[in-house]
Amino acid sequence: MKAPISEIFSSIQGEGILIGRRQIFVRFSGCNLDCIYCDTLDSEDKDHENVLTTANVVNKINELITPDLHSISFTGGEPTLYPEFINKVIHEINIKTKIKALLETNGSLYKQINLLNNIDYASMDIKLPEHFNRWNSDIFENELKSIEILMEKKVKVYCKIVVLPSTKINKLEEVVMKLSKKISNNNVPLIIQPSSPINYWKGKEKKILKLSEICGKHMDVLTIPQVHKYLGVD
Ligand code: SF4
């Protein structure tokens, strides 16, 4: 079995609730969306030349294991384009040693998410209309379905929303209210991630506090920028 992989590397997780954890990142090429703030442009190319087998990926992961390793992040691009490939990699790694798996997904491909097994954590990147030149409301509805599926699979889910200096507070609140209804009593935190680079926020720092307050009315909220960029690591 093969999939296009743009890179496999060891680094420190700089986003979400696993921030600071040492991870091995398996970055898939190709994405079904085209967000205006995308910082992994090479991963949008589905025709990426670096097509690897599951054995190639497992071997590389084994080479990169360090004593502080917490988990493997399947990221992109959009990793759920390749659910069977991910299942096989996790299965082959865990034959020898159980290593936890994080899925970093835009959540819009809920049928693919339903095919995934043995995921421990999922970072669900909730999209706002402003993230696109052309918005399709199915994206959000499909993300809600994905959250439901992952919760049923007992995956520890957290949501992440990238906010921009131009983010409209009322639009954000509308989305967060719908999200909070979906998760009801489940413990799903929301990460507000100010867009990078952080100097775009100079003079607008109070807006970050306001966005946190609005989201905090409905969900358990944390505000975390992309910390790996401060550390100078990938
Ligand atoms: S979902 Fe992620 S990888 Fe895909 S375009 Fe948006 S930011 Fe880029």
Instruction: Report yes or no: 65 and 36 within 8 Å, Cβ to Cβ.
Output: no
Instruction: Report yes or no: 113 and 150 within 8 Å, Cβ to Cβ.
Output: yes
| Atom number in ligand 1 closest to CA 76 | 3
Categorize the per-residue pLDDT at 39 as very low, low, confident or very high, splitting at 50, 70 and 90: confident
How confident is the model at residue 48, as a pLDDT? 60
Contacts of 78 (CB under 8 A, 6+ apart): 28, 30, 31, 32, 33, 105, 106, 108, 109
How confident is the model at residue 158, as a pLDDT? 96
Residue nearest to atom 6 of ligand 1 (CA): 35
Q: What average pLDDT does the segment 184-202 reach?
A: 86
Instruction: Give the whole-angstrom CA distance, residue 221 versus residue 191.
Output: 6
Sign of the CA dihedral running 207, 209, 214, 215: positive
* Residues with a CB atom less than 6 Å from ligand 1: 31, 33-35, 38, 40, 43-44, 76-78, 106
Which segments within the chain are labelled E, that is strand?
Answer: 2-12, 22-28, 51-53, 69-75, 100-105, 121-125, 156-163, 190-194, 221-223
How confident is the model at residue 42, as a pLDDT? 61
Contacts of 163 (CB under 8 A, 6+ apart): 172, 192, 193, 194, 195, 208, 211
How confident is the model at residue 50, as a pLDDT? 87
Which of 100-114, 115-129, 199-213 is predicted least confidently?
199-213
Q: Which residue has the higher pLDDT, 21 or 94?
A: 21
Instruction: Give the whole-angstrom CA distance, residue 176 versus residue 132.
Output: 18
Of 25, 26, 34, the one to substitute when testing ligand 1's pocket (max ligand atoms within 8 A of C-beta) is 34
Highest mean pLDDT, choosing among 178-182, 186-190, 211-215? 211-215
pLDDT reading at 167 higher than 80: yes
With CA atoms as reference, report the closest residue to 186 among 132, 122, 134: 122
Start-to-end CA span in the chain (Å): 27
Domains in the chain (CATH in brackets) are: 2-231 (3.20.20.70)
Per-chain mean pLDDT for the chain: 92
Cα 40 to middle of ligand 1, angstroms:
7
Of 48, 78, 123, 134, the one to substitute when testing ligand 1's pocket (max ligand atoms within 8 A of C-beta) is 78
Question: Residue 79 corresponds to which tokens in the numbers above?
Answer: 């990793």
Categorize the per-residue pLDDT at 47 as very low, low, confident or very high, splitting at 50, 70 and 90: low
Instruction: Report yes or no: 37 and 20 within 8 Å, Cβ to Cβ.
Output: no
Residue with the two structure tokens 């060891």: 10
Q: What average pLDDT does the segment 6-11 reach?
A: 96
Amino acid at site 132: F
Q: pTM for the full model? A: 0.93
